[in-house]
């Protein structure tokens, strides 16, 4: 008997009724993206400004490094916050921007093509701040700042 190709739509049928009677559930679950990952990828697919005139801007389109960085931040945001970003956009600084705006409050993540991750925000007094994010813990800390800045605020 020759192995047959398995297509995504066939996977669910195999999980519920594997041909050899075994349990494939754990193996298949490793192949199925988590909801946060699916949510993050959907936000990246909806990224704005991808058709900008990059040459005139003196910038570059977001590369895979910047997109992967943004996906990591968006996945963490899904897990930590019930707060939807106002938009995800290609950045004039060569990368991806994830922007949160609500009632005059602003916070953003920049994921640059170089791999650098930055968090930018205005505090309660309107003072601008910027911090480089180097770790997953830094991402979580920044997202908690977004949550605090946007508490009881509706994103515009």
Confidence of residue 113 (pLDDT cuts 50, 70, 90): very high
pLDDT in tens, 84-99: 899 999 988 899 999 9
d(CA 36, CA 19): 31
Q: How much is the pTM?
A: 0.73
pLDDT given for residue 32 in this prediction: 56
Judge contact between 47 and 62, C-beta under 8 A.
yes
15: left (phi over 0), alpha (psi -120 to 50) or beta: alpha
What's the confidence (pLDDT) of residue 28?
A: 47
Pairing of strands 105-112, 95-102: antiparallel
Provide the pLDDT for residue 156: 40
Token readout for 123 is: 């505090």
CA 81 from centroid of its chain's CA atoms: 12
Q: Which residue has the higher pLDDT, 150 or 107?
A: 107
Tell me, what's the pLDDT at 21? Answer: 55
Domain boundaries, the chain: 1-32, 34-149
Checking if the pLDDT of 116 tops 90, the result is yes
- In angstroms, rounded to a whole number, what is the distance separating the alpha carbons of residues 150 and 98? 15
């Amino acid at each position: 008997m020759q192995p047959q190709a398995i297509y995504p739509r066939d996977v669910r049928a195999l999980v519920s009724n594997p041909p050899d009677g075994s349990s494939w559930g754990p193996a298949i679950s490793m192949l199925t993206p988590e909801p946060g990952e699916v949510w993050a990828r959907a936000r990246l697919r909806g990224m704005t400004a991808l058709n900008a005139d990059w040459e005139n801007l003196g910038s570059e389109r977001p590369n895979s490094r910047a997109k992967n960085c943004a996906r990591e931040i968006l996945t963490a945001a899904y897990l930590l916050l019930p707060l939807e970003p106002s938009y995800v956009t290609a950045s004039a600084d060569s990368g991806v921007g994830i922007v949160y705006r609500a009632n005059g409050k602003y916070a953003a993540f920049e994921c640059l093509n170089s791999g650098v991750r930055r968090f930018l925000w205005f505090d309660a007094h309107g003072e601008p701040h910027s911090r480089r994010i180097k770790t997953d813990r830094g991402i979580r800390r920044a997202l908690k700042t977004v949550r605090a800045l946007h508490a009881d605020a509706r994103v515009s």
